């Protein structure tokens, strides 16, 4: 309470720098995930399209040994082998769909981070929306109960009581 009151007395300049610092911190912390992509890839293509396809594949295919890393992030032996395989296939002119199919045929849907919509994966796709709707419903419900209805005689009575308490406290020694 006291803090927020002081806050309003700050000059607009101070407030500006305060906000700037906050923005900076926000960008810094949200940027912390960026080094995850930083494992240097020595493999280079002459062809820009092939390079882009290769990088897309290594980001979207899962390293099965480490499971929570993609091929680009992982230094596991298997990830290296699969990167090499992806590199060779891109080099030989295979397209995105063909390479993904090659991987899925061998390692299952689990190897791709974006699971296809199938009966077995339905819950994965629906659950986030379901939870979001639940959350919104809860928030709406909570707000309704939190705001007192001033037309209600009971709240008017309470308001009167509160006012008289404040008055009385001022007269105390």
Partner 1 sequence: MNLRSQKALIPFALFILIAGFLAIGLTLKPGEVPSPFIGKPAPDFNLPQLTLADNAENNNSGNISLNIISNTDLDGQVWLLNVWASWCVACQEEHPLLNQLSADNIVAIIGLNYKDEQRDAWNWLNKFGNPYSKVAVDKQGETGIEYGVYGVPETFVIDKKGVIQLKHIGPLTSKDIEQKIIPLVQKLNGVTG
Q: Which residues bind partner 1 (CB under 8 A)?
A: 64-65, 67, 77-78, 81-82, 85, 104-110
Nearest approach in angstroms of CB 110 to partner 1 is 4
**Which is nearer to partner 1, 49 or 67 (by Cβ)?**
67
Least Å distance, CB 49 to partner 1, is 25
Helix (H), strand (E), coil (C) string for the chain: CHHHHHHHHCCHHHHHHHHHHHHHHHHHHHHHHHHHHCCCCCCCCCCHHHHHHHHHHHHHEECCCCCCCECCCCCCHHHHHHHHHHHHHHHCCCCHHHHHHHHHHHHCHHHECCCCCCHHHHHHHHHHHHHHHHHHHHHHHHHHHHCCCCCCHHHHHHHHHHHHHHHHHHHCC
CB of 80 to partner 1, least distance (A): 9
Judged by beta carbon, residue 39 or residue 112, the one nearer partner 1 is 112
Q: What's the closest the beta carbon of residue 104 comes to partner 1, in angstroms?
A: 7
Which of 47/149 has CB closer to partner 1? 149
* Residues belonging to the chain: 173
Backbone angles phi, psi at 122, to 5 degrees: -55, -40
| Nearer of residues 118 and 156 to partner 1, judged by Cβ | 118
Between 4 and 67, CB nearer to partner 1: 67
At its nearest, how many Å lie between partner 1 and the CB of residue 71?
12
């Amino acid at each position: 309470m006291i803090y927020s009151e002081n806050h309003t007395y700050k000059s607009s300049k101070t407030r500006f720098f305060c906000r700037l610092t906050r923005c900076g911190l926000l960008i810094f912390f949200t940027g912390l995930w960026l080094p995850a992509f930083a494992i240097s890839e020595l493999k280079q293509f002459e062809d820009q399209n092939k390079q882009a396809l290769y990088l897309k594949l290594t980001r979207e295919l899962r390293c099965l040994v480490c499971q929570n890393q993609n091929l680009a992030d992982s230094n596991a032996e298997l990830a290296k082998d699969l990167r090499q395989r992806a590199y060779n296939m891109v080099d030989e002119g295979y397209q995105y769909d063909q390479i993904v199919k090659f991987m899925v045929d061998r390692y299952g849907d689990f190897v791709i981070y974006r699971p296809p919509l199938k009966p077995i994966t339905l819950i994965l796709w629906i659950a986030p929306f379901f939870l979001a709707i639940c959350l919104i419903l809860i928030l709406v419900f909570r707000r309704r109960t939190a705001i007192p209805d001033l037309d209600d005689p009971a709240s008017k009575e309470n308001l009167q009581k509160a006012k008289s308490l404040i008055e009385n406290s001022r007269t105390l020694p």
